[in-house]
Amino acid sequence: MRNLTGEGRRRKGAPLRPGGGGGYLPRPVRPTCSRCQRPVAFCLCLPGGAIACRTRVVILQHPREARLAICSAEMTRLALQGAELHRGVRFGDHPRVRELCLAPGTALLFPGEGARAAGEAAREPPETLLVLDGTWLQAERMRRDNPFLAELPRLAVRPDRPSGYGELRREPGPEHLPTIEAVAQALGALEGDPARFEPMRTRFREVVERQLSCARGPRRSPRHRPAAG
Ligand SMILES: [Zn+2]
């Protein structure tokens, strides 16, 4: 049997769906997650649903990062209530991003000199936390090419464990974390409740593990190629 959800469900004697040539085209129906729109086997969502948080998270994603199979930024957006994701390199003409940057109470999650530890801002947490998603170099360029981003107060987290990418992707240094882990850690510190955001990190590791086992298996890519004809 080719699939368990499509053809097998058709009742005996039920009318056939007409195909292009007048015959029935069996279309396997893969169950899809209504939130992330991916096949359930490749769902990126948290099992317990999106987490409520006081600080709105807005991810600015470098377009090249969006092509990667494991989308830590997309997972972050799905994991948090009210989170937004905008793609681009320069955001000078992006009304929403400009509006957020000009609003008081917006901070940028970006490590380095001059950044405050997120835990220190717990008493007066930012209303919006902007996060740059890309390689280290891409993120640094995004910040440099968008002066209004460079002017924002910065927050940082000190990683409390190694990156969840494991062998899938090497971060440039131990202080660099995947977007979802950095955000989970920052929100945990800002809201004084790291355990509440722990499911984001657990889910990320599960998705990485799923990706690794796909890569190890006989099928190199997790994407299904449509059958010929
Ligand atoms: Zn999903």
Span 90-107, pLDDT tens digits: 999 999 999 999 999 999
Ligand 1 geometric centre to CA of 46 (Å):
7
Q: Which residues surround ligand 1, an ion (CB under 5 A)?
A: 33, 35-36, 43, 45
* Segment 50-95, tens digit of pLDDT: 999 999 999 999 998 777 767 899 999 999 999 999 999 999 999 9
Residue 106, classified by CB atoms within 10 Å of its CB into exposed (0-12), middle (13-18) or buried (19+), is buried
Q: What is the pLDDT of residue 197?
A: 98
Report how far residue 229's alpha carbon sits from residue 201's, in angstroms, rounded to the nearest whole number: 41
> In terms of C-beta density within 10 A (0-12 exposed, 13-18 middle, 19 or more buried), how is residue 215 classed?
middle
For the domain made up of 49-159+175-214, the CATH class stated in words is: alpha beta
In this prediction, residue 65 carries a pLDDT of 79
Which residues contact residue 113 at a Cβ distance below 8 angstroms, ignoring those fewer than 6 apart?
A: none
What is the whole-number distance in angstroms between the Cα of residue 58 and the centre of ligand 1?
19
**What's the confidence (pLDDT) of residue 113?**
87
Centroid of ligand 1 to alpha carbon of 115 (angstroms): 34
Strands of the sheet with 56-61, listed across from one edge? 84-87, 56-61, 128-133, 106-109, 154-156, 116-117
pLDDT at residue 162, as a whole number: 76
Q: Show me where the domains of the chain are located.
A: 49-159+175-214
Q: Which residue stretches of the chain have pLDDT < 50?
A: 1-15, 19, 221-222, 224-229
Whole-structure pTM value = 0.79
In angstroms, the CA 229 to CA 218 distance is 23
Tell me, what's the pLDDT at 220? 52
Distance 78 CA to ligand 1 centre (A): 8
